[in-house]
Amino acid sequence: MKIVVLISGSGSNLQAIMDACQSGYIAGQVVGVLSNKADAYGLVRAQQAGITTAVINHKQFATRQDFDLAMQKIIDVWQPDVVVLAGFMRILTPAFVQHFEGKLINIHPSLLPLYKGLHTHQRVLATGDKLHGCSVHFVNAELDGGAVIAQAVLTVAANEAEQSLIQRVHKLEHIIYPLVLNWLSYGRLSYQQGLPVLDGQTLSTPMKLLFD
């Protein structure tokens, strides 16, 4: 399975995916890493692993549509089976999403459909939720929308600090993202009529992995 990863920052999820490919846990390889920021440390991670990288500065384009089309052209050259959003901090246009429909997945630090958008950990603590976590989902044109494939769930500790919660959820991201890519790479997961199908069963609700 050929994987392209889109990043904007440190690339810790990218590293988890590269490590899982190296070990054979994911039956595939990262063939390209694209960032909208030239100083994203994830580019260094990719280059050190011998993976082709590209940078497209979104500020150099007049419209989001022009930026997304430029990205699309580069990604298409890599001929990916799946395009992974790993901390890519840009809202994608409907045309881009449609072009990669069924191949585009994202991870979001909340139990979707709760807390779409930013500052999820802060919002969870402010609301007093007992459960929190992260979700891997197929991407559609709605922000943090699309069918959720799997969720990693943890219990929020009493009086937990935001930084603690951020770190705990981040660790779960490094487990659940490679897991979903494992399912894809070994043919267990597919995308049919807008929904994830795992081992022949349509997932009307996400697979949930519970952690302390």
Provide the pLDDT for residue 167. Answer: 97
Provide the pLDDT for residue 151. Answer: 98
Q: Catalytic: 170?
A: no
Provide the pLDDT for residue 212. Answer: 78
Name residue, tokens 């846990």. 25
Provide the pLDDT for residue 179. Answer: 98
Are residues 3 and 75 in contact, defined by beta-carbon separation less than 8 angstroms?
A: no
pTM, rounded to two decimals: 0.96
Residue 153 has pLDDT above 90, yes or no: yes
Q: Which of 58, 108, 119, 174 is catalytic?
A: 108
What phi, psi does 100 have (nearest 5°)? -105, 20
HSE-CB at 78 with a 13 A cutoff on CA atoms is: 26
**What residues contact residue 190 under an 8 Å CB cut-off, 6+ apart?**
196, 197
